[in-house]
Each structure stands twice: as C-alpha cells, then as structure tokens.
Amino acid sequence: MGGRTVEDPSGRGRASKPGCGEKGAAAEEKPLAPGLYLVATPIGNLADVTLRALSVLASADRIWCEDTRVTARLLASYGIRKKPLQPYHDHNAERARPAILAALRRGERVALVSDAGTPLISDPGYKLVREALAEGLALSAIPGPSAALAALLVSGLPPDRFLFAGFLPPRQKARRRALEPWAALLASLIFFESTPRLGESLADMAAVLGERPAAVARELTKLHEEVRRGKLGELAAYYREKGPPRGEAVIVVGPPVAAPPAPAEIDLRLEKALAALSVREAAARIAVETGLPRAAIYRRALDLKRAKEGGDEPGA
C-alpha cells in the first residue's frame, strides 16, 4: 500500500510520507517548495550526508551557513554547482536575519547549514526559526548527523533517557554551578567540550555528579575516532596526565548509580517476596530490583527461610 498521508509540516497542503521501508522517491521528485530548510551536514566523514540534504542544497535558491568556505567545500565535493552562499554566524546573526526573512517572504527556498552536524544544536539558527514561525513562514528539518547522538550511541551508556546539556561554562565556579541541577537526574548527560578543557571538566563532573561511568567520544566519524570509557575520576586523571588530545570531543555521563539498599531493607523485601514465591523466584526478583548479585541474594533468602521454619535468628 502507499505511504501514510500526513499534514505537510510546512502548512502548504497535504504530502505523502513513506512509512518505514517504503520508497520515498515520488515525494523527493517534487520540486522543492518555498521555505526554510534546516539541513544537517557531516561531522567529519563527508559520506555522512543524506540524499535529501544534497537534493535540498542543490535546489535551494540560497544557502546561509556559518563559514562559506566550509560549505563551499561540501558542495564542491558533491558536484553541486556554485550558488549564493551567505554567512550566518554568532557575530552577524542580528544583521543577517532580516535578509533571510525577506528572502523567505519573497517565496525563496532557503537552506541553513552549520559547519558540521545539525544546525541549532549549539550552533546558530534558533532565533531565525522563532522569527520565521512568528511570521507563519514554512519550515522543515532535513535530519542527519549530530555529534551528540553519535557520541551517545558509542558511549555504551543508557540511551533510553538523556539530557543534552551543550557546552559548560569555561570557568570552574560557573561550571560546577551549572552541573548541580543535573546531579539527581536519572538520565545520561551529554556535553560538548573543547579538548583543552576535558581534564578540568571531567574532574568537576566527578566532584558535583559523583563518581559515575562516562565516555569521551573524540573525532567521531573521522580517521582518528576514539572512544575512551571509564569512571569520571579515571577519565579526568587520564586527560590531566596526558594533556589535551587533538580534535573535537563529546562527554557522555551515565545516570547516577543507585546505592544498594541497606541489609535490613533487603531482608524486608526478601521476607515479603518469600511469603508468595519460592526461594529461587524471590531471590531472582530482589536481585533484579536491587541490582545485587543473584547468588548472594539467594543465599540470604535461604537463610531467612530456614530461620523462619526453624524459628532461629537468620545468620548475619
């Protein structure tokens, strides 16, 4: 059957969106509609660009980008002919934004890209999006690489809940203060960090968040890609001793490691479970609940059961 019909996010009518595994060629062949396209580009390996990103960049009337030389190289490497490239970065955004909005009002197809990865994610574009939406202008994301998600994937840390925290302040006092609200969050934390600050930032994370598993993902998708995993304190010591590595890096920190319940609490839970379950089943349930080794919990469950049956005090 054909693709699901969904509301066109640009508000320009209905569009056919392919479901998983279906071909979207028909939708892609349509001429590019007017609007602002937020286009993700590679974070290192040039091959990590989507077919749709290339198609939008090739069809756009204008491209606004952080550094025109970087984007010109990307376009040239895919044989996209010369087209107007204009800078949009932290230092000219206030002045450049009216020109972008004017182009959109004229019905042009405008692409926004950053030097690498997904625009707006610790890169310019958010204010432009807000203003374009306030004027009812069409807007689409062309998703693709982002260092934050790539780092989470290879970190080996829980991906089910995560907080992307961007860059931390460069000074220690402000950095520690910025970390405090996240200390109790039951989620993995993702930070962008400049490589010269890796050692200090990891040490502050260990101090404020407590010792936790973490990973430093460096030069992702590039020739010298490296992922170093360990406790926050170990990683801090490593980078302080070795000195800053080259390139770019993302820090991923695992959620707080829950302290195991006190022995009296474990006994209480086991006694409750033993009232309804066999020793084996009770031990399995409490081992899962507490994260403690099943064999130790099983031995304790046996002691408790024997003591109850014999009327003895269970062994300590």
Least distance in Å: CB of 247 to ligand SAM? Answer: 7
Least distance in Å: CB of 45 to ligand SAM? Answer: 8
Measured between alpha carbons, how far is 252 from 229 in angstroms, rounded to an integer? 9
Cβ atoms within 10 Å of 260's Cβ, excluding its own: 11
Question: Which residue is associated with the tokens 């399995």?
Answer: 284
Nearer to ligand SAM, 54 or 286 (CB): 54
- Report the sign of the C-alpha dihedral through residues 24, 25, 26, 27, in that order: positive
Measured between alpha carbons, how far is 230 from 137 in angstroms, rounded to an integer? 47
Nearer to ligand SAM, 36 or 270 (CB): 36
Nearer to ligand SAM, 147 or 203 (CB): 147
Q: Which residues of the shown chain bind ligand SAM in the complex (CB under 6 A)?
A: 43-44, 114, 116-118, 121-123, 146-147, 192-194, 217-222, 248-250
Least distance in Å: CB of 63 to ligand SAM? Answer: 16
Least distance in Å: CB of 133 to ligand SAM? Answer: 20
Residue nearest to ligand SAM (CB): 117
Cβ atoms within 10 Å of 103's Cβ, excluding its own: 19
Question: Which residue is associated with the tokens 């955004």?
Answer: 93
- CA nearest 60: which of 89, 88, 80, 43? 80
Nearer to ligand SAM, 86 or 122 (CB): 122
Backbone angles phi, psi at 49, to 5 degrees: -125, 140
Nearer to ligand SAM, 127 or 308 (CB): 127
Measured between alpha carbons, how far is 67 from 30 in angstroms, rounded to an integer? 30
Least distance in Å: CB of 129 to ligand SAM? Answer: 14
Least distance in Å: CB of 142 to ligand SAM? Answer: 13
- Report the sign of the C-alpha dihedral through residues 132, 135, 141, 146, in that order: positive
Supply the DSSP string of 153-197, one letter for each residue.
HHH-S--SSEEEEEEPPSSHHHHHHHHGGGTT-SSEEEEEEEGGG
Nearer to ligand SAM, 152 or 220 (CB): 220
